[in-house]
Amino acid sequence: MSHAAVGAPGTPRRYLHSLWLLSARDLKVRYATSWLGYLWSVLDPLVMSAIYWFVFTQVFKRGSIGEEPYIVFLILALLPWVWFNTSVSDFTRAFRKDARLVRSTSIPRSIWVNRIVLSKGMEFLFAIPVLALFVIANADKVTIGWSLLWFPVAVLLQTLLLVGLGLLVAPLCVLYADLERTTALILRALFYASPVIYSVNNLPAPFDVIGAFNPLAGIFTLYRVGFFPDQWHTTTILISVVMTIGIFVLGLWVFRSLERSVLKEL
């Protein structure tokens, strides 16, 4: 393939081409070694949704937690949560997994983070038809309006948040090995600290204020407002936007500061 087709070395076009190739490779490896293939993209959030739906609607009376239909309410947050959780988990091994390539290639090292965001993000998009099926099955209980335009905004915000976290977590995990296990523990706690099985509006004081500073709170809210307009929470969304941008800027600064140290450690 000629340079003209993919761009000259060091150009944004070449970077995007390399990013696409690496992300596509990750997806091919994931699906080629699995009989279920595509189903794995939706099986995890689907099983989680079924479990939480059963527990909170059949075993316990959840009261005012969430919205009806609860299964749609759950899936709208569980799908992006799986994208977030799997991406951050992979960030901890982003450089060590392909240490030889990271050291030997001339492409910007940030691509090893961004390829994870893109490949996991594509799996998230592959799972959207499952969400659509549940929405159609509950069409009489779901309100679909112009607020649905906030859904792609949520996708963009989550992408920005993940890139920032990846640029922050990946180099730190190379320099401090214990951070990989620490990150796993934080992710477990963060699941329950994020409005996945409940709504931002369900948090009592002072946890409603504290919870608003979790950037996922506003992002998950944006995913849901297209189907549940009452979920709109201006303060939480604005805080999430500010925090997402702040984490992205911090990630860029940390990555640039530690890049040489990381290469020496690999």
CA pair distance 88, 65, nearest whole angstrom: 27
Angle of CA points 188, 192, 197, to nearest 5°: 130
Query: Percent helix, strand, coil in the chain (nearest 5)?
Result: 75, 0, 25
The CA–CA distances, whole Å, from 158 to 164, 169, 259 equal 10, 16, 24
Q: Which tens digits make up the pLDDT trace of 8-52?
A: 555 777 778 778 787 777 777 766 666 566 676 677 777 888 888
Tokens (6 digits) for 30: 């994931």
CA pair distance 231, 199, nearest whole angstrom: 7
pLDDT at 123: 87
Q: Which tens digits make up the pLDDT trace of 71-117?
A: 899 999 999 999 999 999 999 988 888 777 777 777 788 888 999 99
Q: Which tens digits make up the pLDDT trace of 112-156?
A: 899 999 989 988 988 898 888 888 888 888 888 888 999 999 999
CA pair distance 15, 19, nearest whole angstrom: 6
